[in-house]
Amino acid sequence: MYRWEITRAALAQRIVAVVRADSYDEAAATADTLLSAGLTTLEISLTTPFALEAVTTMAREVGDDAVIGAGTVLDAASARMAIDAGARYLAAPRLDADTVATAHRYGVPVFPGASTAGEIVRALELGADAIGVFPASAVTPDWLRDVSAALPQAPLIPTCGVTDRTAPEWIAAGAVACALGAELTDGDRDTVLKRVTDLLTRLSETV
């Protein structure tokens, strides 16, 4: 698949789940729950122990049924390792030109983080496939709406601070997707399954 095809598939449901766990087993169990709930895009944060092994396992198991990425990719070396592990896209809390260049060299999309309009423009100049608004807890949907009005060409993904209750507000404000971590994954399996199912239903009703 071309980069733009992967990006479109990754953002199709307008929700990206961020799996950040204390162990490989916990990450695998969380990922399995999210996928069972019908979610088709998730990333394993590289802050998770044995994160690359988890990426490899999940990517092999789901094949083309879901898009498995790597999160918290801070530099070119980590980018190359994540790609080799099977990550279909990379996400990061910051903008790093070498990370973008490395991923694009191998046909993998990158969603770097930005927190100002200037950083968003710089991310566009470097060829970011989408841009994480990080941390979203520092801004509001109204802020994103204003930025989107000035930069309608910027595909923005609010990250860190979005909840299953507020995600539809961010989408309505112009976000192409929202990234949710613990806000989506905390709780037992039944709780997470219901939360994801309800969120996907509400987003399907958001224009």
pLDDT in tens, 131-177: 999 999 999 999 999 999 999 999 999 999 999 999 999 999 999 99
**Tokens linked to 2:** 């071309």
pTM: 0.95
Whether 100 shows a pLDDT value over 90: the answer reads yes
- pLDDT at position 207: 65
How much is the pLDDT for 206? 73
Q: Can you name the residues that pair with 158 across neighbouring β-strands?
A: 133
> With contact defined as beta carbons under 8 Å apart, do 206 and 171 qualify?
yes
CB atoms within 10 A of CB 17: 27
CB-based contacts of 61-67 (< 8 A; 24+ apart in sequence): 62/35, 65/40, 66/35, 66/39, 66/40, 66/41, 66/42, 67/6, 67/9, 67/10, 67/40, 67/41, 67/42
pLDDT tens per residue across span 47-92: 999 999 999 999 999 999 999 999 999 999 999 999 999 999 999 9
- Which one-letter amino acid corresponds to residue 33? T
